[in-house]
Amino acid sequence: MPSIRRFTRPVLAVTVAVAAATVGSAVAITVAAPASQAATCNGYVGLTFDDGPTPGNTQNLLNALRSAGLRATFFDEGQNAAPNPSLVQATASAGMWIGNHSWDHPHMTQLSTAQMNTEIGNTQQTLQQATGAAPKLFRPPYGETNATLKSVEAQYGLTEIIWDVDSQDWNGASTSAIVQANARLTNGQIILMHDWPANTVAAIPQIASGLASRNLCAGMISPSTGRAVAPTGGGNPPPSSPTPTVRPTTPPPTSPPPGGSGCRVTSTVSAWNNGLTNNLTITNTGGSAVTNWRLTFTLPSGQTITSGWSATYSPTSGQVTATNAGYNSTIAPNSSTAIGYQATHTGNAAAPTGFALNGVSCGS
């Protein structure tokens, strides 16, 4: 039962009008699921938008996509997502998929393996905290990749996605040129666009009508094949239950500090103007396992933890105690566990000091 009017849905139009009226507010609105287009699709293409979220543009792009009945994949940068979690949530709530585009858009192939890990890992954490789900897709900046990067991606369960068609929107392409680039897409293919050019937002209605005229629909990118396919599973889960969160818990009983114990803690801080993430690695350098651990440290003044992972943090400023999660309560001798948190700061983004594990002072 094909219909050429599948993009015209009155209920959708009303929803978009409401959303448009609330632009600028945080997580403006939870909109209904996009209209299903499966019945009239003879193929799927992957629309992708990189480098966001972008205050002042992402919401416009989301409004344009929703009013056109299109879904897309957004490859977000960690450095943009961290200070704008509400835009990431709005993207997921609009039915879009969210992928990882590194923390700050470096030439990944020029980085060490450890730096690649930091770029990808911190961004995974930030996006997971915003949406409640870890991304499954990674797009390397500039499409530059190599075997080392692929192995790091694999450690995070990420599928690398490049593109078949480059819209050149990053290079000043006109709206009509962006529309023409989309007209070259065939079933399964992926197009590179960006989350900041105004010409791209302006192109969305014509992209939608062009795809519809060819019986193509905007699909999801399959993590297993890397190709555009019919959407399944409703995209990213709603942001109503971000995990993990900071919440005080009843501390478990602690083991006595074992004789000959030792520990080492390293911090990897990624900061932006008023916030930071810190990935901590706790290494048990002693001769016996540490169980039911608590790591204490002192945050620099002006820093307040807003969320954390793989431990609970209390209080959120000053002298902080991080208490193990259930699954990492034992650190074997010569083994490590990784935890982390996101925090706000007022100018001092330094790492914490004075680490102690179950009361035993740690080296760094």
Contact positions vs Zn ion (CB under 5 A): 50-51, 141
192 bridge partner residues: 48, 166
In this complex, which beta carbon is closest to Zn ion, that of residue 75 or of residue 313?
75
Asked if residues 75 and 51 have their Cβ atoms less than 8 Å apart, the reply is: yes
- Rounded to a whole number of angstroms, the CA Rg of the chain reads 23
In this complex, which beta carbon is closest to Zn ion, that of residue 102 or of residue 125?
102
In this complex, which beta carbon is closest to Zn ion, that of residue 104 or of residue 267?
104
In this complex, which beta carbon is closest to Zn ion, that of residue 43 or of residue 141?
141
CB of 142 to Zn ion, least distance (A): 7
CB of 215 to Zn ion, least distance (A): 30
Helix (H, G, I), strand (E, B) or coil at 175: helix
Asked if residues 257 and 295 have their Cβ atoms less than 8 Å apart, the reply is: no
Name the DSSP letter for residue 252: P
Closest-approach residue to Zn ion (CB): 50
CB of 206 to Zn ion, least distance (A): 23
CB of 226 to Zn ion, least distance (A): 18
Structure tokens at 212: 């519809």
CB of 172 to Zn ion, least distance (A): 15
Helix (H, G, I), strand (E, B) or coil at 193: strand
Q: Which of 253, 278, 260, 257 is nearest to 329 (CA)?
A: 253
Residue 36: other Cβ atoms inside 10 A: 13
Structure tokens at 169: 């929107």
CB of 160 to Zn ion, least distance (A): 14
In this complex, which beta carbon is closest to Zn ion, that of residue 50 or of residue 153?
50
Asked if residues 44 and 110 have their Cβ atoms less than 8 Å apart, the reply is: no
In this complex, which beta carbon is closest to Zn ion, that of residue 77 or of residue 345?
77
